[in-house]
Amino acid sequence: MSSKAEAPPRREAGFSVVGKRNRKVEGRKKVTGMAVYADDLVFPRMLHAKILRSPHAHARIRGIDLTKALAHPGVLAAVTGKDLPVPYGIIPWTRDEYALGLEKVGYVGDAVACVAALDELTATEALALIDVDYEVLPSVLTIEDALAHEDEPHQVNPFAKKGNVSKHVALAFGDVDGALAQSDVVLEETFEYAGSTHVPIEPHCAIGVPELNGVITVYTSTQVPHYLHRELARVLRMPADRIRVIQPVVGGGFGGKSEPFDLEFCVAWLALKTGRPVKLLYTREEVFYAHRGRHPMRMTYKAGVTKDGALTGVKSRILIDGGAYSSFGLVTTYYSGQLLTAPYRFPAYAFDSTRVFTNKPCNGPKRGHGSVQPRFAFECLLDMLAEKVNLDPIEIRRRNFIGDNVRTVNELRVTSNGFLQCLDVVEKASGWKERWRKLPYGKGLGIAGSMYISGTNYPIYPNDMPQSAVQLKADRSGRVTVFCGASDIGQGSDSLLAYVVAEELGVALEAIRVVAADTDLTPVDMGAYSSRVTFMVGNAAIDAAKKLKKLVQQAVAEAWEVPAHSVWLAAGQVGTWDDPEKTIPPAEAFQLAEAKFGPLGSVGAYNTPKDVHGSYRGGTIGASPAYSFTAHVAEVSVDVETGFVKVDKIWLAHDCGRAINPTLVEGQMDGSAYMGFAEAVMEEQAYKPSGLHDGPSLLDYRIPTSMDCPDFESHVVESVDAEGPYGAKEAGEGPLHPSVPAIANAIHDALGVRLNQLPFTPGKVLKAIAARPGAWKGVG
């Protein structure tokens, strides 16, 4: 349970904010109940809306009769797909869903119509009065069904180019078959990763507020205000300059709020129609239907090693269950292959991934998007290979380390890489050398490693504008206001902005105000996804702050008759190297600058390097300005009579480049390991044969309570990236990846059996024990 940072001595040199365990800027609001989330907002004359959802997994909508619903006392307006007939989608090439079902519904829970009424209860009553004429179609619920029945009426998504294939990617790097043929050991295994969902504790909520002059404001619990802004303009057929998106405090995202949802279009349309504010709050059940969670994947991996444990080639075939729509699926399909190529060197590599449409809630990006599943498969296979060549599984990982400042086999540019240190730290902390393969039957240790992106080199829609921008305003009071479109979803985005600006301008954190995620007020940032915020927003903030700092330095230098470069701003003081006695508070320095230059402001931006991706089609996907690296050791105790897997502890070490705030980095690491642990042993987004969700509630879909969790011991490793802000890289998603394979490998150490199918529930464990050669088959 303890957490501690491995602090290199150099951090103390020269930083006054960076590397310190500062509080979060909004922390006090959150511990006093004063933080305002979407559902906490109330507007005069506000209406409440509810969405009617499909009871069928697959059906054609022949007609919708709103007459009775509209006549219900207290109902003011209703909307159907015909009012919003423009397809949208987060990826511009796969706009394949409608705000409300237009001609079809694709899963149980798909949106059909929406009603606005004086209160929530009246709106709910009105839903029962809507007559929908469905023509029920045969549904496809499995990958096999989707591939076997491709044509009408089995085609799930009419936008699909062919049958039920959402996306197919096949890429090969080097002669993988030749490499495998020359290996001393080759193994092939199939793994199945179950779907799971994000479960932010805050259900999605949106409010549409009609403003003067035909402007519409949408307050919503989103991670991507900018992308939502674009899609709202598209679907509402309004100029983007008439639409304002404001993200209030968001109660958790994890990828589950990173694209537009039906409710945002509905509240905007209904607010414009009625001229009144309209709020829509999902029920917990609806959150399970909105989903966009972890894709189920069936993955067959073949890999070879030399007798010394050097990887020769890796090859995979992956089938991905996409659900009814594309969401980020194009990217998911690429990521399933692209993001496996470090921290180990692959001399040759090939993958063939196919995402299919099925009549289930749409899968999308959940923390560690697209790469958590392949990572599980590969790290288990690597353990098996280590065993075959008689190597300690940590040793085989060290031997195959790809190094820093290298290109991967698929041409991703890796800069800093602290993976070896991560291995060292968890090996030592867990007592690996003394305990692995030496614990009693039922107890075991397992290791796994991983890498992840710090944002994507290319934004979701092609453009040459900055990926992140920050605007600063400083005034004679000494205050600095930071404007940025970035989304704080609990990870500390607002605090990051404040820390960076405080570091650069030397002002106290209390003198900084952060205005974020409001498309009217803040310069565009792409949002909180792909672990991009620290790297990109941090760099944009440094750029803006350095420009403002220059103005202050010039003005102070002129007043004091010293060189501008001698003027320093740090720790709540402005001074000059030329005269140690001379210091003034920032407010006085700002006044000098305001007198010289007029009102003080600056803008800064970050854009990704554009020449560091693969030179093949698809080579841009997976390219990131920097990669983070992680290693976990998990310890498990398996009850061999019940098959229950208790994860006792996870030691994790994560190379985040530099921890701008170690407390927040550890928090991301603990939370990532937690989420991976939950996917390993508890969670599954499962469906009944009819396509109905197996239990869309927190009583049925069990997430870990305080009693279920292992201890997490998070160790920060700092490789100090040359391009990251102060050397920082991501920390929010990478540390999830190794949890699952580390637990799987620990179960193997405990029992001598391999579990290739998630989650590791007691039934599967008992079956695996019983299937062991020579296993005790029970009495009688």
> Residues interacting with other proteins, by CB under 8 A?
1, 3, 23-24, 26-37, 39-40, 42, 198-203, 249-254, 281, 283-284, 489-492, 663-664, 666-667, 670-671, 673-675, 677, 697-699, 703, 705-707, 709, 711-712, 714
Cβ 223 to other proteins, closest distance in Å? 11
Determine contact, residues 365/292, Cβ cutoff 8 Å: yes
Nearer to other proteins (CB atom), residue 32 or residue 615: 32
**Cα 585 to Cα 231: distance, rounded to the nearest angstrom:** 46
Nearer to other proteins (CB atom), residue 7 or residue 170: 7
Cβ 528 to other proteins, closest distance in Å? 11
**Residue 492 identity:** G
Per the DSSP assignment, residues forming a β-bridge with 469 are: 605
Furthest C-alpha separation in the chain:
97
Cβ 251 to other proteins, closest distance in Å? 3
Nearer to other proteins (CB atom), residue 426 or residue 562: 426
Cβ 710 to other proteins, closest distance in Å? 9
Nearer to other proteins (CB atom), residue 353 or residue 491: 491
Beta-carbon contacts of residue 45 (< 8 Å; ≥ 6 apart) = 276, 277
- Burial (Cβ within 10 Å: 0-12, 13-18, ≥19) of residue 384: middle
**Cα 476 to Cα 591: distance, rounded to the nearest angstrom:** 5
**Cα 780 to Cα 766: distance, rounded to the nearest angstrom:** 18
Cβ 712 to other proteins, closest distance in Å? 5
Cβ 37 to other proteins, closest distance in Å? 7
Determine contact, residues 504/549, Cβ cutoff 8 Å: yes
Per the DSSP assignment, residues forming a β-bridge with 606 are: 468
585 closest CA partner among 598, 601, 569, 600: 569
770 closest CA partner among 758, 753, 756: 753
Beta-carbon contacts of residue 126 (< 8 Å; ≥ 6 apart) = 50, 69, 70, 72, 74, 75, 78, 115, 117
Cβ 192 to other proteins, closest distance in Å? 25
Nearer to other proteins (CB atom), residue 26 or residue 518: 26
- Residue 190's alpha-carbon distances to 182, 218, 676, in angstroms, are 22, 45, 20
Beta-carbon contacts of residue 771 (< 8 Å; ≥ 6 apart) = 753
470 closest CA partner among 521, 528, 532, 510: 521
Cβ 300 to other proteins, closest distance in Å? 32
Cβ 448 to other proteins, closest distance in Å? 17
Nearer to other proteins (CB atom), residue 3 or residue 481: 3
How many residues comprise the chain?
Answer: 780
